[in-house]
Amino acid sequence: MDRLDDENIALLTLLYSCKRPDSWKSLTNQCLVEGSARRVLMNRLDAQSNPLREFDEVEPEDFALFPEPLSDARQREYDAAAREAERDYDEWMRAELRFVSIFDSDYPHLLLDSVDAPPFMFSKGLLLSDDRGVSVVGSRHASPQGLEFAQEVAAMLAKRSLTVVAGLAEGVDTAAHQAALDAGARTVAFIGTGINRAYPASNRALQERIAHEGLVLSQFKPDAPPTRQTFPMRNAVMSSYGLASVICDAGEHSGTRIQARQAMQHGRPIIFRQQVVEQTRWAHSYLDKPNVYVARTVNDVARFIDAIFHTALVQVDDDYLRIPLGV
């Protein structure tokens, strides 16, 4: 195994042994700050090894801030988590699954800057760390007008060589993926199940085509089933993968609300089709918020996208630079 394999197994060990007040999100952030899951794990396994203890400025009373030595029971939990992590990772490698963690150079850069960055993902297809995409989302039970709008938006993005990002659900997502493929454009599908599953089953062939011609991403274990929690988690990650979200069709209680809320939290622009704002209270409530646009036509969406992509925020080291992206 190489260093990346060791980091991945250490990362999985931390996640599998996670207990409150820790969470997968907080552990992921700790590993990113430290730059190594192995160091985070070693500091937890051996509190005395924390390098901060060696500084003269650390007063004896400050040692209370450091982790307490592990109890025998907690040590056994870490040992069990390490065995499970190594077993799972070895199984995934033997199955030739593409596992990409926050330590992998192919991990999408925009996700790394997000508070919802998943610690790892599985992928099928061409993974691009610097992908330039737009999420095209909406209701599973979209109107004919909403489906047509999604198709036309996807075709417009294709002409601009932008990736069409969606969640492979029925309705708007399917229309957007299909239109992108028909236009010969790149499309990325974020799925709410493990990478080995297809949901809905009616989209199995579409999922396979996207894996062959674009990219399918999952933040869950390979055989994880769909649940009420996995789709909101999927939406949180999908909203930060692209530089904007276009909401083509949605009802008052649509799950698309989660995509909008997460996009706002990530500082990503939201483009609403006008009918969505007119027909739902939740969408109308976004009108006084920054980076929110309302489009009557696909030409309106195109103008907004051009403006967004010509002045996108890109992080370089610790600074954000507003640079032209040359759409």
**Above 50 in pLDDT, residue 228?**
yes
Range of the domain at 283: 124-323
Does residue 114 form part of some domain?
no
For residue 64, what pLDDT is reported? Answer: 44
What are the tens digits of pLDDT across the range 88-100?
Answer: 999 999 999 999 9
Confidence tier at 116 by pLDDT (50, 70, 90) = confident
Q: Are residues 135 and 91 in the same domain?
A: no
Integer-rounded Cα Rg, in Å, for the chain is 22
Percent with pLDDT over 70 in the chain: 87
Instruction: Look at residues 96, 112, 134 and tell me which one is the last residue of a structural domain.
Output: 96
Does residue 115 form part of some domain?
no
What mean pLDDT is predicted for residues 150-177? 97
Q: What is the CATH number of the domain that holds 149?
A: 3.40.50.450
Q: For residues 130 and 110, what is the distance between their CA atoms, to the nearest angstrom?
A: 8
Q: Are residues 92 and 131 in the same domain?
A: no
Nearest to 9 by CA among 40, 50, 54: 40
Which residue matches tokens 């007119």?
Answer: 278
Q: Are residues 89 and 168 in the same domain?
A: no
Side-chain-side CA neighbours of 317 within 13 Å: the count stands at: 1
What are the tens digits of pLDDT across the range 244-282?
Answer: 999 999 999 998 999 999 999 999 999 999 999 999 999
**Above 70 in pLDDT, residue 323?**
no
Does residue 113 form part of some domain?
no
Q: How many domains in the chain?
A: 2
For residue 312, what pLDDT is reported? Answer: 52
3-state secondary structure 18-81: CCCCCCHHHHHHHHHHHCCHHHHHHHHHCHHHCHHHHCCCCCHHHHHHCCCCCCHHHHHHHHHH
What are the tens digits of pLDDT across the range 45-69?
Answer: 875 454 444 444 445 444 444 456 7
